[in-house]
């Protein structure tokens, strides 16, 4: 019955629609297996995950997630069970592939929990529809089609508007709404291209209806429960992943609630799910009529949210069900007494708000719809909706934007049409602005179809704003404002005070938050799990212990530039603190993560990461200090204010952090040590900019000085571009200067992560980027240990890194980026905190960087930790994944501004093979066929040897005229191909017709007469591998060669680590 060894498939890199929630799910699954005495074999290509830590799974494979890799892992490990439903859509689809390919039967691997047949029936929209009709559940009229022709035909029957949804895709990829035949053509053809089985569903639109979800569990004995339901503030038409979501539902009567609950149970039973699933409904706000929209027969983003919202660990319970446990045999960890076969009762409101990457894609349109665009989300808990919403809003940290924020660009009139109220990322603020101008809630509901209940709540917030502005701030008023979730900052702004003053008034009046427990049972039973949220009420349930304790500040929502890797670090910090005998207190607001799992730390405060919220917890808990260096930029941004408020910051000092982030102060320090930095200057006007430019000389790299994360960074080749940038792109003003810097051309970028105790520094290895400097370190592929760096540069880099660490008195982690230009090493920047690459280094070198850093922060010394210089016999290649498929209008070129959402790691004994594996993990390179080469003038000379390599690999080459001639002159034959403006058949035709297997295309640059981005966009639309830098092209050739020479082999992380030798420290 019970398996002895189970294969768990992870969900791969973070992409839109599949974020950290599956690290949380997979980690719980591994823990559950351990509790059951079952060996877990975990496969995931994403190194920045807790689940791929040796401590969590028994055997870990960081390998590409595809059929033949998994086959070979099964061959090697011989598991007798497979958990298909914990790795998101990726894991699910792979499990189905393995079954269909007969692999599971061949090696008699039992698929555990929900049967494969059920998965197919739930995933195939047509089969699912048939089932629902059979059991008498209502579905909107719909037809599945495989061609555009069929689509046109059925549109007559169903009628417009229509929803188009591709089968077997994720996050609504390729789905959309069609109000007319033209839109129909566009969306359907796109959808067919994307769907792995070339099938799309055309469905009658019920846009505007309430969208309601239920999280349901079923065990093998047919016991069923619902964990909770959720109501989307944004009605049908906006993907649940892009909707503001509230749990539990707020506007349903008991009859409606039970009607949908009963339907959910009926469906999960009819499907025969064994584990968890998510059922989505559309409910008519005017008649209680409903439709079933879809079922996800697996743990999902919603189930992670439901778990954090209720305290009910869905993934854990689902895993135990899969290995044969019944719901009534699985204890409810929260109460300790009761069993998992009950339905959580909430006595608070939970609000989730998505986080979108639009700032990162200037050209992208900000509207949202049936296709998901959010990279992450935040969750907030409070006793009323207004407060939960305001907490969630400030958890977004979008430059500290509160609900009172208004876009200066809006025409703030009394005409509702002047506000952007069609679904978009700023709609919530737009509604607030409209309410402030006296537009009635009824009008807004009519216009947006958002339930009046929610709009009325927003009106309450607006009313309180007015009261605060007009009346004197009494104790009673302060209390009411606090109960509605207003921050000291907001109250200050509205009453003409500083947040500090407001804070002092609160102290005087003893208006402090209390903390209540998330206990799954609305206090009916005594809860043993310290999972807290703040509110302004009578009773405080959080008891301060006498133990020595430290607070770890998390990293908030997953976003481009600050991804899961920082949550990974925070979790390790918590584990390390625990092992060192400290009480660990985690503060974070991201429901998807392991850090917000209630058994990761001794106490979890599910709170926004603002000065006020963190300070409240600090004053409540009185810890030895706060650890801020693992949560990415988020905790750093509030560090100074916290310190001023008397908080003890553990590890590297706030002053050092400031030196590093203030380019002026930093370059002073570098000068002092004679460490070269690219020549640079600041400009407050166009004239100044031109002067600086003249001094430094083109090309330049420019960035606004007031933003972080490389936002708005550009490479400038000439005066024309500079003028353009200064006057159009970023409007430069005296108080908003730009930094101008010499752009180091054809420079190899490297990074070093260092551990330091202030006296000694340890550098496990150095990372060498594949792409040249100019591609953001977060986007560039990189290899570690380095492959092409001469020893002298490695020494220089190590030397500089040590110097900087000691000068900044770093205690803990630091990351320094370098560029090697014309045989000289320059420092680009230093970050005295955990970096994106910490998990990478940890997994390739087999040392737990974050854990060690925590020990250093607690006072241990490098010497005590016995860290030795390592010789690493293998190579790790990190490759990034990009969300361009979700933003078809964006040109997918790599720039100094980061755009990737996630990463994969390929490990092998040679660089070539490691690179191949990394590519395999993101989007497999072709091994033969036709390669299209079309590069900008500047790259021509360098393209020759790339073309040569592909030619010798037996690839046929097609090139655009310029490139073609150049190659011909250098003795490389190629067929010409037309550009779009040159006539037809052209590049786009060839890509559509599948004549091309690989695109090598370097952009001609912004100001060229003809835009060439259509080449790259077409490659993405038709899922053809494409490369936009020659460095990457060269590496690709190496990779393909390596693949040709020897079949890549699978090897567990444990065995890689076993091969690492360490020298005595010199």
Partner 1 sequence: MGKPALLVLADGSSYHGYTFGTSVDAVGEVVFCTSMIGYQEMLTDPSYAGQILVPTYPLIGNYGINEQDIESDRIQVRGFVVREQCLQPSHYMSQETIQQYLERGGIPGIYGVDTRAITRRLRAGGVMMGIITSDKTPQQALDALHKMPDYGSIDFVKQVTTKVPYYWQAEGSESKYHIVVLDCGLKYNILRILNHLGCNVTTIPCTTSASVILSLKPDGILLSPGPGNPELLDYIVATIKQLIGKKPIMGICLGNQLIARSFGASTFKLKFGHRGGNHPVRELATNRIYITAQNHGYAVAPDSLKGDLEVTHINLNDGTVEGLKHKELPIFAIQYHSEASPGPLDNTYLFDKFIEMVKGTSV
Q: Where on the chain is the footprint of partner 1 (CB under 8 A)?
A: 221-223, 225, 248-255, 257-258, 261-262, 265, 285-287, 326-328, 337-339, 341-349, 383-385, 451-453, 456, 516, 521-526, 537-539, 541
Helix (H, G, I), strand (E, B) or coil at 919: helix
Answer yes or no whether residue 26 interacts with ligand ADP by CB under 6 A: no
**Conformational region of residue 198, where left means phi above 0, alpha means psi within -120 to 50, and beta covers everything else:** left
Assess contact for 682 and 705: CB atoms under 8 A: yes
Contact map string, positions 816 to 835, toward ligand ADP, x by CB under 6 A: -x-x--------xx------
Smallest separation, CB 53 to partner 1 (Å): 35
The binder of 843, among Mg ion, ligand ADP, partner 1, none, by C-beta within 5 to 8 A per type, is none
Using alpha carbons, select from 504, 466, 472 the residue that is nearest to residue 488.
Answer: 504
In angstroms, give the least distance from the CB of 111 to ligand ADP: 22
Contact between 238 and ligand ADP by CB under 6 A: the answer reads yes
775 binds ligand ADP per the rule CB under 6 A? yes
Give me 537's structure tokens: 């009420």
Give me the least distance between CB of 248 and partner 1, in Å please.
5
- Which residues between 164 and 183 bind ligand ADP (CB under 6 A)? 165, 171-172, 175
Taking a C-beta distance cutoff of 8 angstroms, is the pair 391, 485 a contact? yes
Q: Which position's Cβ is nearest ligand ADP?
A: 710
Task: Rule CB under 6 A: say whether 910 interacts with ligand ADP.
Answer: no
Packed helices 452-470 and 475-483: angle between N→C axes, nearest 10 degrees = 150
Inter-residue contact 1035 to 770 (CB < 8 Å):
yes
Closest to ligand ADP by CB, 707 vs 865, is 707
914 interacts with ligand ADP by CB under 6 A: no
The smaller minimum CB distance to ligand ADP, of residues 485 and 710, is found at: 710
Question: Which residue number, 52 or 817, has a Cβ lying nearer to Mg ion?
Answer: 817
Pinpoint the alpha helices (H) of 135-240.
148-158, 181-194
From the list 200-208, 400-408, 460-468, 541-549, the region that binds ligand ADP by CB under 6 A is 200-208
> Nearer to ligand ADP by C-beta: 127 or 345?
127
The tokens 């430069």 sit on which residue? Answer: 732
User: Distance between CA atoms of 232 and 244, rounded to whole angstroms?
Assistant: 6
DSSP E strand stretches across 698-831:
700-704, 714-716, 738-742, 748-757, 761-762, 766-772, 782-784, 811-821, 824-831
Cβ nearer to partner 1, comparing 531 with 1014: 531
Residue 1000 in tokens: 């090598």
Q: Can you say whether residue 958 is alpha, beta or left, with left for phi > 0 and alpha for psi between -120 and 50 degrees?
A: beta
Interaction site with Mg ion (CB under 5 A):
777, 817
Contacted entry of Mg ion, partner 1, ligand ADP, none for residue 238, CB cut-off 5 to 8 Å set by kind: ligand ADP
Q: How far is the CB of 161 from ligand ADP (least distance, A)?
A: 8
Q: Which does 1045 bind (CB under 5 to 8 A by kind): Mg ion, partner 1, ligand ADP, none?
A: none
CB of 476 to ligand ADP, least distance (A): 42
What does residue 28 show for φ and ψ, rounded to 5 degrees?
-60, -40
Tokens of 287: 């008649």
- State which of residues 47, 354, 554, 710 lies at the interface with ligand ADP (CB under 6 A): 710
Q: Which does 744 bind (CB under 5 to 8 A by kind): Mg ion, ligand ADP, partner 1, none?
A: ligand ADP
Q: What are phi and psi of 603, to 5 degrees?
A: -140, 135
Least distance in Å: CB of 716 to Mg ion? 19
The helix/strand/coil state of 933 is strand
Buried (b) or exposed (e) across 710-733, using 16+ Cβ within 10 A? bbbbbbbbeeebbeebbeeebebe
Of 785, 900, 793, the residue nearest 841 (C-alpha): 785
Q: What are phi and psi of 361, to 5 degrees?
A: -125, 80
Between 3 and 635, name the residue whose CB sits nearer to Mg ion.
635
Q: What is the DSSP letter of 375?
A: S
Burial, 277: exposed, middle or buried (Cβ in 10 Å; 0-12, 13-18, 19+)?
buried
Among residues 149, 156, 127, 150, the alpha carbon closest in space to that of 139 is found at 127
Q: Which of Mg ion, ligand ADP, partner 1, none sits in contact with 261, Cβ below 5 to 8 A by type?
A: partner 1
Q: Which does 577 bind (CB under 5 to 8 A by kind): ligand ADP, Mg ion, partner 1, none?
A: none
Tell me the C-alpha distance between 160 and 1033, whole Å: 46
Please provide the DSSP assignment of 756-779 as one string: EESS-EE---EEEEEEETTS-TTT
Window contacting ligand ADP (CB under 6 A); options: 190-198, 220-228, 501-509, 770-778: 770-778
Check binding of 777 to ligand ADP (CB under 6 A).
Answer: yes
Which are the contacts of 212, defined by CB distance < 8 A and separation ≥ 6? 229, 230, 231, 232, 249, 252, 260, 280, 281, 282, 283
Least Cβ distance, residue 772 to ligand ADP (angstroms): 8
Stretches 477-485, 739-747, 923-931, 952-960: which one binds ligand ADP (CB under 6 A)?
Answer: 739-747
Among 64, 237, 311, 651, binds ligand ADP (CB under 6 A): 237
Instruction: Note whether 377 binds ligand ADP by CB under 6 A.
Output: no
Q: How many residues contact ligand ADP, by CB under 6 A?
A: 42
Task: Tell me which of Mg ion, ligand ADP, partner 1, none is bound by residue 274, counting a contact when its beta carbon lies within the kind-specific cut-off of 5 to 8 angstroms.
Answer: none
Contacting residue, 31, 218, 239, 373, with ligand ADP by CB under 6 A: 239
Which residues of this protein are in contact with ligand ADP, per CB under 6 A?
140, 163, 165, 171-172, 175, 203-207, 211, 236-240, 280, 293-294, 370, 678, 701, 709-710, 713, 741-744, 747, 749, 773-777, 817, 819, 828-829, 896
């Amino acid at each position: 019955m019970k398996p002895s060894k189970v294969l768990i498939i992870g969900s791969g890199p973070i992409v839109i629609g599949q974020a950290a929630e599956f690290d949380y799910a997979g980690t719980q699954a591994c823990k559950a297996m351990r509790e059951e005495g079952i060996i877990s074999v975990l496969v995931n290509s994403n190194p920045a995950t807790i689940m791929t830590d040796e401590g969590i799974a028994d055997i870990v494979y960081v390998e590409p997630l595809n059929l033949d890799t998994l086959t070979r892992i099964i061959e090697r490990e011989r598991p007798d069970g497979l958990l298909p439903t914990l790795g998101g859509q990726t894991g699910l689809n792979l499990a189905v592939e393995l079954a269909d390919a007969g692999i599971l039967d061949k090696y008699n691997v039992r698929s555990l929990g929900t049967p494969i047949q059920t998965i197919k029936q739930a995933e195939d929209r047509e089969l699912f529809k048939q089932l629902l009709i059979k059991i008498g559940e209502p579905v909107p009229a719909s037809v599945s089609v495989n061609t555009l022709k069929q689509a046109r035909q059925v549109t007559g029957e169903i009628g417009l508007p229509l929803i188009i949804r591709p089968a077997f895709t994720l996050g609504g990829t390729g789905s959309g709404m069609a109000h007319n035949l033209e839109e129909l053509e566009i969306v359907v053809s796109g959808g067919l291209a994307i769907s792995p089985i070339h099938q799309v569903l055309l469905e009658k639109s019920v846009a505007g209806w309430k969208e309601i979800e239920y999280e349901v569990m079923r065990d093998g004995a047919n016991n069923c429960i619902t964990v909770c339901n959720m109501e989307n503030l944004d009605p049908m038409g906006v993907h649940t992943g892009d909707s503001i979501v509230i749990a539990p539902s707020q506007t349903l009567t008991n009859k409606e609630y039970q009607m949908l609950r009963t339907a959910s149970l009926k469906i999960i039973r009819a499907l025969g799910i064994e584990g968890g699933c998510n059922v989505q409904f559309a409910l008519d706000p005017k008649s209680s009529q409903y439709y079933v929209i879809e079922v996800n027969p697996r743990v999902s983003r919603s189930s992670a949210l439901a778990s954090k919202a209720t305290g009910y660990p869905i993934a854990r319970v689902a895993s135990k069900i899969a290995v044969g446990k019944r719901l009534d045999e699985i204890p409810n960890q929260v109460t300790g007494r009761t069993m998992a076969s009950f339905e959580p009762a909430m006595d608070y409101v939970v609000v989730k708000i998505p986080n979108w990457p639009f700032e990162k894609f200037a050209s992208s349109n900000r509207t949202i719809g049936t296709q998901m665009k959010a990279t992450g989300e935040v969750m907030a808990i409070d006793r009323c909706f207004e407060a939960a919403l305001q907490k969630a809003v400030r958890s977004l940290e979008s430059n500290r934007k509160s609900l009172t924020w208004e876009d200066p660009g809006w025409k703030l009139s009394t005409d509702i049409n002047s506000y952007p109220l069609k679904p978009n990322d700023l709609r919530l603020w737009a509604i607030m602005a409209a309410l402030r101008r006296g537009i009635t809630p009824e009008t807004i509901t009519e216009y947006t179809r958002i339930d009046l209940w929610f709009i009325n709540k927003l009106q309450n917030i607006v009313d309180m704003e007015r009261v605060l502005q007009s009346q004197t701030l009494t104790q009673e008023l302060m209390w009411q404002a606090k109960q509605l979730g207003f921050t000291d900052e907001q109250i200050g702004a509205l009453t003409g005070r500083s947040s500090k003053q407001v804070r002092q008034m609160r102290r005087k009046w003893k208006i402090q938050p209390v903390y209540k427990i998330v206990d799954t049972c609305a206090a009916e039973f005594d809860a043993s799990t310290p999972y807290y949220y703040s509110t302004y009420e009578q009773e405080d349930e959080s008891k301060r212990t006498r133990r020595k304790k430290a607070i770890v500040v998390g990293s908030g929502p997953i976003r481009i530039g600050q991804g899961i890797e920082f949550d990974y670090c925070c979790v390790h910090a918590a584990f390390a603190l625990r092992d060192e005998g400290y009480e660990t207190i985690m503060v974070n607001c991201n429901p998807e993560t392991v850090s917000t799992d209630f058994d990761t730390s001794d106490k979890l405060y599910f709170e926004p990461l603002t000065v006020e919220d963190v300070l409240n917890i600090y004053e409540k808990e009185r810890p030895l200090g706060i650890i801020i260096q693992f949560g990415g930029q988020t905790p750093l941004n509030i560090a100074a204010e916290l310190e001023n408020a008397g908080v003890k910051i553990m590890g590297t000092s706030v002053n050092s952090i400031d030196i590093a982030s203030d380019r002026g102060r930093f370059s002073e320090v570098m000068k002092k040590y004679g460490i070269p930095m690219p020549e640079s200057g600041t400009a407050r006007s166009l004239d100044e900019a031109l002067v600086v430019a003249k001094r430094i000389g083109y090309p330049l790299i420019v960035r606004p000085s007031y933003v972080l994360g490389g936002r708005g960074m550009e490479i400038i080749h000439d005066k024309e571009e500079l003028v353009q940038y200064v006057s159009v792109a970023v409007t430069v003003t005296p108080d908003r200067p730009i930094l101008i810097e010499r752009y180091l051309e054809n420079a190899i970028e490297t990074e070093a992560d260092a551990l330091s105790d202030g006296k000694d520094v340890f550098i496990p290895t150095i990372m060498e980027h594949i792409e040249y400097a100019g591609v953001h370190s977060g986007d560039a592929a990189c290899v570690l240990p380095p492959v092409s760096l001469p020893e002298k540069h490695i020494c220089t880099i190590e030397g500089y890194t040590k110097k900087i660490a000691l000068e900044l008195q770093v205690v803990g982690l630091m990351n320094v980026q370098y560029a090697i230009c014309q045989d000289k090493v320059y420092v680009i920047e230093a970050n005295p905190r955990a970096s994106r690459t910490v998990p990478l280094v940890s997994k390739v070198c087999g040392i737990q960087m974050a854990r060690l850093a925590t020990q250093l922060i607690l006072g241990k010394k490098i010497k005590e930790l016995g860290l030795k210089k390592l010789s690493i016999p293998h190579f790790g290649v990190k490759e990034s994944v990009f969300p361009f498929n979700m933003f078809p209008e964006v040109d997918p070129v790599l720039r100094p501004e980061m755009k990737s959402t996630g990463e994969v790691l390929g490990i092998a004994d040679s660089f070539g093979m490691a690179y191949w594996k990394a590519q395999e993990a993101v989007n497999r390179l072709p091994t033969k066929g036709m390669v299209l080469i079309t590069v900008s003038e500047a790259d021509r000379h360098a393209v020759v040897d790339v073309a040569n390599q592909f030619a010798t690999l037996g690839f046929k080459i097609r090139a655009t005229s310029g490139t073609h001639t150049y190659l011909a002159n250098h003795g490389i034959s190629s067929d010409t191909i037309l550009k779009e403006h040159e006539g037809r058949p052209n590049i786009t035709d060839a890509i559509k017709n599948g004549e091309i297997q690989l695109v090598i295309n370097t952009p001609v640059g912004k100001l060229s007469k003809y835009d060439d981005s259509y080449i790259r966009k077409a490659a993405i639309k038709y899922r053809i591998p494409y490369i936009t830098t020659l460095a990457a092209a060269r590496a690709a050739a190496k990779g393909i060669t390596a693949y040709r020479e020897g079949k890549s082999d699978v090897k567990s992380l444990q065995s890689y680590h076993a091969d690492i030798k360490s020298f005595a420290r010199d």
